[in-house]
Structure 1
Amino acid sequence: MSDTRTTTQQLQTIARLWPDLTDALGDRTQHAWPPPQLRDYIAGLDRHDAEQAEYDRWQASALRALERSPDQLGIRPVPISLRVHDTMRTVEAALLDTADRIARSVQRPPQQPPAPARAAAAPTRAERLVWEDRARRIDAARRDACDPRRWQPQHGRTAIRAALWLSGRAGGSSGPFRPLSALEEQHLARVAAGAIGRVEAVLDLADQRRELTAKHPCPCGGTIEVYGGAGALPVARCKGCGAIWSEAGVVAA
């Protein structure tokens, strides 16, 4: 299903859902695809799928690395959902890199304060006016450099901040920036679409479909497709004979 949301809406949704990802990080049993109701069925058909097997081996190895020997003192770390962790790490890296690149391209450099000057012992009125103007320009340059609308690469490098800052650029919000070029808009749109897809998939918020590998067809020889997510009950359907399986077993043949 295509995502009709704008780039700005997608980025704002990522920021809104980020706390949910953090909550899901400690849950190793939820937010997995295929959904639990069909997991046993699909495991019997597709257990030897090469990509999934590789992921399972990596997950088991990483979990072993997280655990400490029971004879060690101290608090043992709580196992985390590596699927959620991998999604968060990938999305955050993409957003931060995109924000850095776009800021270098569209963000205006801060105003430069005037050079310091020696004060006269008994300044004239004209000299006092010059000093007052200099003070105003120094204050304006300081406020411009600290403008909260600026992307400051050295501060607050979080996925939420990057997503919200990028949403402002996509929406053309005012500030010390020039508008995005067509190429920059296209690049940001691709990054936002990929990021929101990963986030909603790992939280089981989006429609999902997956064809099982050809080496595990339906008894009729047809290809089996699994779909669900976004609140829908997961279902497996043969694209050949039309047989349908749900959590209750075969519901149509």
Structure 2
Amino acid sequence: MNDTRTTTQQLQQIARLWPDLHDALGDRTQHAWPPPQLRDYIAGLDRRDAEQAEYDRWQASALRALERSPEQLGVRPVPISLRVHDTMRTVEAALLDTADRLARAVQRPPQQPPAPARAAAAPTRAERLVWKDRARRIEAARRDACDPRRWQPQHDRTAIRAALWLSGRAAGAGGPFRPLSEAEEQHLARVAAGALARIESTLDLAENRRELTAEHPCPCGGTIEVYGGAGARPVARCKGCGALWSEGGVIAA
């Protein structure tokens, strides 16, 4: 299915679903897609198009660069769901790396305060105005540097914070930023779509529908389609003869 949500909506949905991933960490029940009993039917499936492949490469690069430790996801009882843990670690790394890179490109540097000066008496009105203006510029520079809309790479490095900050950039929200270029918009869209798809797949929230490649046809020669997810039982169906397979085996032939 094509996701018609905007990049901003996808990033906000990531932030909303992140607590659900934390809750799912302690659940070791695997909801792999496709289920193990149907994997033989999709062994040769080309599972990613060019955009998904680029997102996967981006994830791997981000993981190598950040070298995030499992402890950064918080203290959790063991054993945990490795599948959920891997999703959280990978998505968080991709979001943080994307935020770091975009901030370097689009975020305006903080205003510079005036150079230090030795305090002196200001007996005249003109001198007092100079010192008042100096104090105003110092305070303006301080506020600009602490603007909560800024991405602060050394602070609050969480997936939720990164997703919400990136959603603001995708929406063109005001702040000390320039608008995203077309290339930056496209890249952010791929990262957001890939991250949300992985989260929704892990939480079994997304509907899945895939056709097998020609190397894995039905015995009748027809194309097999696997569909399910989002609470529905996964089923494989031949588009030629109509044979159906479920996790338990053949339903109809």
Equivalent residue pairs, number: 225
The unaligned stretches of length 5 or more in structure 2 are: 45-75
Instruction: Give the TM-score of the pair, scaled to structure 1.
Output: 0.78
- Name 1:17's counterpart in structure 2: 17
- Determine the C-alpha separation between the residues in 1 that align with 2:20 and 2:224: 32
- Determine the C-alpha separation between the residues in 2 that align with 1:155 and 1:218: 54
- Name 1:158's counterpart in structure 2: 158
Give the Å deviation of 1:80.
1.2
- Name 2:80's counterpart in structure 1: 80
Specify the code of the residue in structure 1 equivalent to 2:38: I
Which aligned runs of 4 or more in structure 1 are off by greater than 6 angstroms? 46-49, 212-216
| Residues 25, 81 of structure 2: 8 Å contact kept | yes
- Determine the C-alpha separation between the residues in 1 that align with 2:168 and 2:205: 24
User: Closer, same or farther in 2 for the Cα pair 1:228/1:78, shift >3 Å?
Assistant: same
- Name 2:179's counterpart in structure 1: 179
- Determine the C-alpha separation between the residues in 2 that align with 1:4 and 1:46: 29
Give the secondary structure class of the aligned counterpart of 1:119: coil
Percent of aligned positions that are identical = 85
| Residues 205, 231 of structure 1: 8 Å contact kept | yes
Give the Å deviation of 1:248.
7.2
Give the Å deviation of 1:42.
2.9
Give the Å deviation of 1:10.
0.4
- Name 2:200's counterpart in structure 1: 200
User: Closer, same or farther in 2 for the Cα pair 1:244/1:165, shift >3 Å?
Assistant: same
Give the secondary structure class of the aligned counterpart of 2:228: strand
Instruction: Give the TM-score of the pair, scaled to structure 2.
Output: 0.78
Structure number with larger C-alpha Rg: 1
User: Closer, same or farther in 2 for the Cα pair 1:186/1:216, shift >3 Å?
Assistant: closer
1:93-108 to 2 correspondences below 5 Å: 93-108=93-108
Moved more, 172-181 or 216-225: 216-225
Specify the code of the residue in structure 1 equivalent to 2:3: D
Give the secondary structure class of the aligned counterpart of 2:110: coil
Moved more, 97-106 or 116-125: 116-125
Specify the code of the residue in structure 1 equivalent to 2:5: R
Specify the code of the residue in structure 1 equivalent to 2:80: I
1:5-154 to 2 correspondences below 5 Å: 5-34=5-34, 39=36, 41-42=37-38, 45=40, 78-121=78-121, 123-154=123-154
- Name 1:66's counterpart in structure 2: none
User: Closer, same or farther in 2 for the Cα pair 1:225/1:17, shift >3 Å?
Assistant: same
